[in-house]
Structure formats: C-alpha cells, structure tokens
Amino acid sequence: MDRRRFLAAAGSLAFAGSARADEQTYRRFHAALAREPALAVYADTVGSQAGAARIEGRLPADLQGSFYRNGPGRFELGGERYHHWFDGDGFAQRWTVADGKVRHQGRFVDTRRFVDESQAGRFLYPSFGTYVARRGFRDNDTLNAANTNLLPFNGRVYALWEGGSATEVDPETLATVGVKTWRDDLRSMPFSAHPKIDPQGGMWNFGALPGSGNIALYQIGADGQVLRMALIPVPQQAMVHDFVVSANHLIFMVPPYDLLPGNDTSFAERHAWAGSGSNARPLRIIVVAKDTLTVRQVFELPPRMVFHFGNAWEDGACTRFDVVLHAGDVLAELGGLMAGERPSRLQTRSEAVQVCLDYAAGQARTSRVFGASEFPRVAPQVVGSRHRKLVLLGGSDTVLSSVNLVDTDSGKVDGYRFGAGWQVEEHVLVPRRNARSETDAYLLGVAQDLRKGVGVMTVFDAARVSAGPVALARLPYRTPHCFHGNFLTA
Ligand SMILES: [Fe+2]
C-alpha cells in the first residue's frame, strides 16, 4: 500500500478544524453549571482516580473481571474550553470486579496531544469540533484523542479513537504503552473505535478517509497480525463512525452530509447536512463482500444520521441488521453540551430499527425495534450471526435514563428506568460461563447519580432487567462520562 496516499487522505481529516477554543464557551458552561449542577458530567476531570466502591445489593460470585471504559475527560485548558463533546482527551477507566469487591481506577491516556498540551498549558492542535492551530503537527496521531473506546484484545488493551491509531495501555495500571502500528505501511492510519470482535478470534475494523473518498478495511487475526487490508471507494463521505458485520458482509451507512472545504474550521463544522430540501440526498448503505473486500451492492434509505449499530446476520437471501437512526443533524447539537446546552433532539428524534437488505429487489426495508435510544450492543458470542436480543439505552427527555433488553423478533422489551436524577451510560452483556442463551448473562454498565455526584457501576441479571439491578457499586466520586467499553472476564 502507498502510505503517502493514506496520509494525504488522512491529512484532510487531520486539518479539520472558524471556531477556535475560546473563553466564551468556558464562561457559558460554568454559568450553566452553577445553575444546573448535573452538568458536572461534562465538567473537567483533573488528575487520576482510584477508589473502592460501596456495594448495594448482591454482587454475583461468578462475575469476575475488568470492565474497561473510555470517554473524554479533559475539555478545558488555559481558561479555554472545547466546543464539542467529542474533543476531550481520553480518560481510560477500569472497574475491577473480584472476590465480592469492586475497585475503580482512571487515568488520562498519555497521547502526544495530551502530553504536549499539558506541558504548554494550553490547546495546541485542532480537534474534531474545535479549530486550534498554535502548533504544526506531523500526522493524525499528533491529534489523537484516544477517547472513544477501551478494547481488550489478544492480551492487550487499546484506547481507540477514529481518526488515527489505536493507543495501547497497560491492562493493569492503564499506563500508556504507545501508539499501535498493526503494520508498518499502516502507520497513523485511521482505525475506528468500533472494531467487531469475531467470536472465533480476530477482528474486523475500518478507517474512514473522507478526504480521499475511501474507507480502509482491516481484518486482523487473533494474534494481532494483519490478515487482509483493502480500500473501498465511498464518495461523498463525511463522518462514518461505526459499521456492522454479518457472516458474509461488512455493512456501512453513509449519512447525507457535504464535507465543506475549509482550512480554518473544525472537521465537525465542515459537515453541512444535505438531507433536507429539494436536493436532499439519501442515507446510503454500502455492502462489502467479506470474501472479495469489494462493494457488492449499495442501497438507499430516507436521509438520517447514524452513529451506532447492533448486529448483522444473513437471513436466506437477505441480510438483517439493527441500527439507531437520528432525524437530522445531531452532530452540531451534541457540541452544545460543551456550553452547557443539553441536546433536545438526540433522544427524542431517534429510533432503533431493523434493516432488511433485499439484494434481489435492491431494496432496504426498515421495521421499528424501539423508540428514542442509543448505545446498541449485543452479546459477544452472537456477533456476525443470528441474534435476538439487543441492548439499548432509552430516554424520553434530554438524558438517557433507562436500560432495555429488546427482543428483536417479538419486540418485547425487558427494561428498567433509573428515574429522575440519573444519567445512564452504555451497558454491555457479559455472558455467564458456558452461557446457553443471550440472556444467560449479566448486563453491566455505569450510571451517574447526579444528585450525589457519583459514578455507579450497575449489574443486572440479563434475564430479568425489569427487576432492577442486582447490585450497584457506588464510588465516592464522579467519573467522567464514557462513550464505550468492554468487559474482560477473569
Ligand atoms: Fe461510538
């Protein structure tokens, strides 16, 4: 592969960035925080964290392992504040569950950016939603925020972003080991935060290269070797955050954005919604055949924004998958959180659907699975094959407040609402040893107790979510809001 071609393509992503980090966003956020203390979920975290949780309820004896999670933790420096939630520096967290106790630790990933900006005492580089250009940069990894997911794989743990490399951290201490280069010619290539781990070992992942109109595909073996790598052309491409994998296909959805030119605006601000008006463009579905790593077929749906998928499986001559669709441009709205403005559309104008791809008819059909929601997950053993259970966080107002296990066949929902004063983060299914079904599992996550200002790990019996958590592990402090995580059974 021609590495220069990748870097040129990636460089346009890196040069993302007329909004500058500023004091106004800082002042607006802190004024809002004084009025609404619950916004502390989006406040700055300083230093590392370590502490023991107080257990309420009964922690299952057979639940042992490490719950690795990641999200942005530092949003402010030198009196300036980022403009977008996705900009903050990655704060890696580990909840260790062992012998009836739960301990928590968290620390920033020592990325190039975090180290340089900490030394300088101010922001230096452009980020996803905030344009800063106080210092030049060499490649994508100078800008790497390592803030989106924390993935155990092949005995190692990786802090993932999407515009550059994975960053390896120590599985015990979370100390930064360094940038991961899967193969020399793939150095600093975008590597998404949503790899799909094959239950038989190995993983699939991709890297979006909007500047060049390509998506890079990676198949990585169980031992970390790159088995296959390919580029597929995806024109009119903007943010592509996640994908989904079935037995025979890799499936992408490309929301209708125009990526505007701009040398002094952020990547987020260059996104112009092209899904409304007389020239509205559709939501494209790109289906790649796993055997040839080429585009098999392209489908269209009405214009929607997409972040996250559940799972995909082959159903005879069709492929089915679940995805959360958002009406309109929610990217900009999420940015408002940094100024203390809660998004109103994210939870109220989304819908989880199952998409059925009919190859012969060339049609994609959707059927509703659940209403306003986000953070879909499935049991790890069913990735790429037939599944019936989908985890979704639900919310009818401006925060996600319920955790739900949805039966995608019957539509039946087994859910639990935390109620006022809580904000729920991603929950994951942790199968019991030799699990016989998708619900023979614990459902683990984190919820923020906003009134007490503390982070709480939650444990549900996946077969009886509506019965409420079997255990809550309460910390004596607040934890930075995470995007994604994964449980590694001990
Ligand atoms: Fe994500």
In the predicted model, what is the mean pLDDT of residues 349-367? 96
- Summarised one tens digit per residue, pLDDT across range 400-422 is 999 999 999 999 999 999 988 99
- Whether the pLDDT of residue 2 is over 70: the answer is no
- CA 269–ligand 1 middle distance (angstroms): 19
- CA 192–ligand 1 middle distance (angstroms): 9
Reported residue count of the chain is 490
Amino acid at site 400 = L
- Whether the pLDDT of residue 353 is over 60: the answer is yes
- CA 166–ligand 1 middle distance (angstroms): 14
What is the residue extent of each domain of the chain?
3-489
- Summarised one tens digit per residue, pLDDT across range 427-442 is 999 999 999 999 999 9
- Whether the pLDDT of residue 235 is over 80: the answer is yes
Q: What is the pLDDT of residue 344?
A: 67
- CA 376–ligand 1 middle distance (angstroms): 10
Q: Which CATH superfamily is domain 3-489 in?
A: YVTN repeat-like/Quinoprotein amine dehydrogenase (2.130.10.10)
Q: What is the DSSP letter of 341?
A: P
- Whether the pLDDT of residue 10 is over 50: the answer is no
Q: What is the pLDDT of residue 397?
A: 64
- CA 283–ligand 1 middle distance (angstroms): 18
Kindly indicate the confidence band of residue 16, based on its pLDDT and cuts at 50, 70 and 90: very low
- CA 361–ligand 1 middle distance (angstroms): 31
Q: Under 8 Å CB-to-CB from 75, ≥6 apart: which residues?
A: 42, 43, 44, 81, 82, 87, 88, 338
Q: How far is CA 452 from CA 31, 33, 455, in A?
A: 20, 15, 9
Kindly indicate the confidence band of residue 343, based on its pLDDT and cuts at 50, 70 and 90: confident
DSSP characters for 71-122? Answer: EEEE-EETTEE-SSGGGSEEEEEEEEEETTEEEEEEEE---HHHHHHHHHTS
Q: Return the minimum-mean-pLDDT range out of 9-18, 266-275, 374-383, 432-441.
A: 9-18
Q: What is the DSSP letter of 346?
A: H
- Whether the pLDDT of residue 5 is over 60: the answer is no
In whole angstroms, how large is the CA radius of gyration of the chain?
21
- Whether the pLDDT of residue 8 is over 50: the answer is no
Q: What is the pLDDT of residue 362?
A: 98
- CA 311–ligand 1 middle distance (angstroms): 14
- CA 65–ligand 1 middle distance (angstroms): 23
Which pTM does this prediction carry? Answer: 0.94
In the predicted model, what is the mean pLDDT of residues 446-460? 97
In the predicted model, what is the mean pLDDT of residues 40-44? 94
Residue 30, φ and ψ in degrees, nearest 5: -70, -30
- CA 485–ligand 1 middle distance (angstroms): 10
Residue 350 three-state SS: strand
Q: What is the pLDDT of residue 346?
A: 56
Amino acid at site 476 = P
Q: Judge contact between 258 and 276, C-beta under 8 A.
A: no
Q: What is the mean pLDDT of the chain?
A: 93
Q: What is the pLDDT of residue 298?
A: 98
Q: What is the pLDDT of residue 15?
A: 36
| 133 token code pair | 């250009």
In the predicted model, what is the mean pLDDT of residues 310-318? 97
- CA 61–ligand 1 middle distance (angstroms): 31
d(CA 250, CA 104): 36
